[in-house]
Amino acid sequence: MICICHLINGLDVGGAERSLVNVVQNLDRSRFRNEVVTLLEPGVFGDHLRAAGIPLTSLGMKRGLPGVRGLAKLVGHLRRSRPTVLQSWLSHADLLGTAAHFFAPSSRLLWNVRCSDMATSPGSAHLLWITRLLARLSFRPDAVIANSPSGKLFHEKMGYRPRRWIELPNGVDTDQFRPRFDMKERLRASLGIQTRGPVIGMVARYHPMKDQATFLQASAKFSSDYPEARFVLCGKGCDGQNEDLRKLILNSGLGDRVILLGVRDDMETIYPVFDLVTLCSTFGEGFPNTLIEAMACGVPCVATDIGASGEIIEGVGVIVPPRDPAALSQAWKTLFAGPIEVRAAEARARVVERYRIERICQLYEAAYLDVIQPAAVRDVAASVGGRVQLRDTDSVAS
């Protein structure tokens, strides 16, 4: 049995956290035993893991730099559990995991890079410092996983020089996230959406990188041609308690045409409410889960060309420049002017072909086996049609 210890900051709602849960719940349990260790107290995804029978341990740390007490707890845990692989997710976990691995070196060490240029964005001095430190330590892990080419490229520019790079995209459960066209009206009614016009959604936490301001400006422009349209914001901070967001909505002149859902744990029934999903991030994205989740539900997407968004929706959605409300509004109009049902089917087919969680977990399994016994699994990666790129060696490409 191959034991994987996944180390992550916490388990609140987020892309990296959701990806970790997807992976550990779907790896082949006849060959892989997973456990999760969090630096902070577990968030909402902790319940998902417990329900799935995945062992979960918290180091009980506070936000900020990893401390000596947390490091000692992690070292003790690793010496007891002796995992085959220590897989860290996100920068703080990469740093603490690397320090712990020095004192408990029996396992293979992997990092997992989940974003692109987040560290150089305004207000990220702390993260930038950690990223620069990790660049100096990047020779330590056996491999670094990146979920997007843009994330890999950015970290190379920051000085990352690992022994190996492995590119693995995010995955989605295409049985859980599926079209529900026959339920659309009922689902809309359950959210208080009473309209025959288009419904456009944005699923993202309230944060400058997500740029809800541009979404609302585009919504105001779009409404001049589609007065019955409704616009939905879903995610942490997208609720009536957010005064800054309420001011943005008031200034947009949209009034009650904007619906705020806040955090939802039933996204498989939220995406099917939408006719379109938009992501208008300005920086930092790696591989946005919201795009593949929406597309799996048969919802076409419009996104800014940040991170892997262009790769995900190329040919089945529309890519626009960041911070351009006019271009965003026009992209929506273009999609509604065409056979949107065809785009919906194409979006679903794209995800089923490339990003279904079973396929992505096969790639993770191949990567883990490759790190443990490199010569034995070249054909495994090729057989599942994936791409495992290894620094200083040939790549296995689809």
Both tokens assigned to 3: 């034991």
3-state secondary structure of 159: coil
Q: What are phi and psi of 51, to 5 degrees?
A: -65, -30
Residues 379, 260 within the same domain:
no
Residues 196, 341 within the same domain:
yes
Write out the residue range of the structural domain in which residue 45 sits.
Answer: 2-171+356-383
Is residue 249 one of the residues assigned to a domain? yes
Residues 214, 142 within the same domain:
no
Is residue 193 one of the residues assigned to a domain? yes
Characterize the bridge pairing of strands 276-279 and 85-89: unpaired
Residues 162, 250 within the same domain:
no
Is residue 61 one of the residues assigned to a domain? yes
Is residue 91 one of the residues assigned to a domain? yes
Residues 328, 223 within the same domain:
yes
Is residue 62 one of the residues assigned to a domain? yes
Short-list 358, 396, 357, 391, CA closest to 380: 396
Residues 280, 368 within the same domain:
no
Is residue 161 one of the residues assigned to a domain? yes
C-alpha–C-alpha distance, residues 265 and 99, integer Å: 34
Is residue 391 one of the residues assigned to a domain? no
Mind listing the pLDDT tens digit of every residue in the chain (398 residues)?
Answer: 999 999 999 999 888 999 999 999 999 999 999 999 999 998 889 998 999 999 999 999 988 656 789 999 999 999 999 999 999 999 999 999 999 999 999 899 999 999 988 888 888 898 999 999 999 999 999 999 999 999 999 999 999 999 999 999 999 999 999 999 999 999 999 999 988 899 999 999 999 999 999 999 999 999 999 999 999 999 999 999 999 999 999 999 999 999 999 999 899 999 999 999 999 999 999 999 999 999 999 999 999 999 999 999 999 999 999 999 999 999 999 999 989 899 999 999 999 999 999 999 999 999 999 999 864 444 444 444 444 444 333 332 22
C-alpha–C-alpha distance, residues 292 and 173, integer Å: 10
Residues 284, 254 within the same domain:
yes
Residues 159, 190 within the same domain:
no
As a whole number of angstroms, the longest Cα–Cα distance in the chain is 64
Residues 220, 289 within the same domain:
yes
Is residue 47 one of the residues assigned to a domain? yes
Residues 185, 256 within the same domain:
yes
* Number of structural domains in the chain: 2
Residues 25, 122 within the same domain:
yes
The model's pTM: 0.91
Residues 29, 108 within the same domain:
yes
Specify the CATH number for the domain of residue 265: 3.40.50.2000
Short-list 185, 218, 190, CA closest to 335: 218
